Structure 1
Amino acid sequence: MTSPWIASLFAIFVWWFSTGAILVAVRRADRLGRHGMTVFCWLPMLAAGVAAVALSLPVANVLGAYMGFIGALAIWGWIELAFLAGVITGPMRQECPPGLSGKDRFFRAFSTVAYHELALVIGLLALVVVSDGAGNRMAVSTYLVLFLARIFAKLNLYFGVPRINTEFVPDRLAHLKSYFRRGPVTLAFPAAITVLTALLAVCAERLWSAQSEASVVGFALLTALAALALLEHWLMVVPLPDAKLWRWMLPAPKTMTKEER
């Protein structure tokens, strides 16, 4: 597990598998109408993530790098599950009124995800605090890559991109589609691509110059994650069937009425 290629493939597999597992859980919650219970039943994943991060902090070796990476993904994954299940979202749950624009549209859109954004920020701040002075800061680095990618993705969906995949938007978040804007790219897209490319370059350079096995594995994991984040943004422009990565593993969706939401 000390090879950078193995670490990179590990990061890609965990990203793919964890995303699919969350989508499966949310799809089943939609079918059964047990969203709160689903999020509650996944609390052990959050607890395991917190434990993995705590154990990884003083361990500056290969095992510590993997533990910090997996722990951060578990924490992030539970928050994302709570959001996609419609449990931690925002105070606004209505569609965007036609013709709304400017700051009114922005603040209304933010109100749809405000609690989720707060949860993500709390998670980041908690990891920053506990990682201060630690020998292994893999967890906070992993979480920060995910955080930056998600913020840029949301901004681009709001301002506009040519391709928006709404196939996996859960029933309880169907109102979010009205806040997406399909159209030409705006300045938000080159800004995101520039930052994420710079992040990928930094991680790759650190991987190239790494001297220890722990550093090699750690920066290989981060490089793969940064590359996935960059690819995610390019898929908002390039017409590739990325949904096929998970569609085959999902149960059939259940269509909800407005009264059920």
Structure 2
Amino acid sequence: MTNPWIAALVTLFLWWFSTGVILWRVRHADRAGGTAHQTSVLLGLPLLLGGIWGLGTSLDEDSSIGTYIAFLSALAVWGWIELAFLSGVITGPNTDPCPPFARGWDRFWRATLTLIWHEATLVAALALLTYAAWNAANPFGLYTFALLFFARASAKLNLYLGVPRINVEFLPRPLAHLASHFCHARMNWLFPFSVTGLTFATGCWLERAYAAPTDAIMIGHILLAVLTALALLEHWFMVLPLPDQKLWRWMLPDSPGTDTSIPARK
């Protein structure tokens, strides 16, 4: 488990597999209707509780196994929150589509109210984890969650400001209105900063992995480097004409069909 290539492959597999499992569960709940989405969130509670337990027990474990446990536990907590979001349980008070005429602060406020409880949950989780992991022997659970937090915030802002390619194929029924808050555009001012920052972060993690004094620290930074590179790839999917949806489409049942149209804006 101290081989950096194994750590890289583990991260790649978990990124693909965990995303696919969440999309699969949400798609099945869409097809089932009723309270299926709420049931998914309840059935996923062991994932959340296991993640919290793993983060707590790994804080003082500075071995390679402890690093993997911290990384997996952060992904588990993050995955449950994302499941709750995609299921429409933790989103925001605004469930109305954004009208095409909305501009400026009006549009921004509507988009904020669409996501505010989800964002508040992520901020609270990050704050609690920061408090718990401050000066801990194994901070990689915190680093993993913080990386996911800032990468996702960057992706959301880019979708809001406007990018050439927006994949709404996997939006579930509870979030069908979310597509109306996205914007098609050739480019926005934030995107170059986002990809530059993620590229720089990937390089920094790799440099720290190379200079790491122990196997545990080396493995932790390899996990972060690959995860950051995947976040960078997800950003480029917003611009480059690559069929990224094919990575998961084959494993999902047919969609029941929802209106996820994006209004034109100028």
Structure 1: distance between partners of 2:201 and 2:125 = 21
AA aligned opposite 1:250 = L
Q: Is the 8 A contact 2:8 2:222 kept in 1?
A: yes
| Percent of aligned positions that are identical | 51
1:68 is matched with 70
Per-residue CA deviation, residues 76-125 of structure 1 (Å, 9 max, x unaligned), is: 00000000011100000000112110011001111100000001111111
Counterpart Cα distance in 2 of 1:122 and 1:32: 32
Distance 2:46 2:3 in 1: 30
Q: Distance in 2 between matches of 1:210 and 1:135?
A: 14
Any stretches of 5+ residues in structure 2 without a counterpart?
260-266
1:1-261 counterparts in 2 under 5 A? Answer: 1-33=1-33, 34-255=36-257
Give a deviation string over 1:217-251, Cα, whole Å, max 9, x none: 11110000000011110111111111111001111
State the shift of 1:255 in Å: 2.9
Query: In 2, distance between residues paired with 1:137 and 1:222?
Result: 12
Extract unaligned runs of 5+ from structure 1.
none
What TM-score do the two structures reach when normalised by structure 2?
A: 0.95
Equivalent AA in structure 1 for residue 218 of structure 2: V
Q: State the Cα distance separating 1:193 from its structure 2 match.
A: 1.1
- The TM-score with structure 1 as length reference comes to 0.96
RMSD: 1.0
Moved over 3 A (4+): none
Aligned partner letter, 1:157: L
How big is the shift at 1:213?
0.7
CA offsets 1:177-210 (integer angstroms, 9 cap, x no match): 1111011111110121122112112111101111
Aligned partner of 2:264 in structure 1 is none
**Number of aligned positions between the proteins:** 257
SS in 2 for 1:6: helix
Residues 25 and 199 of structure 1, relative CA distance in 2, 3 Å threshold: same
How far apart in 1 are the matches of 2:125 and 2:250? 32
* 1:256 shift after superposition: 5.6
Rounded Cα–Cα distance in structure 1 between residues aligned with 2:215 and 2:158 = 37
Q: Which amino acid aligns with 2:155?
A: A
Query: Aligned with 1:181: secondary structure?
Result: coil
Q: Deviations over 1:106-146 (max 9, x none)?
A: 01111100000001111111110110121000100000110
The farther-off stretch of 201-210 and 40-49 is 201-210
SS at match of 1:90: coil
Moved more, 28-37 or 109-118: 28-37
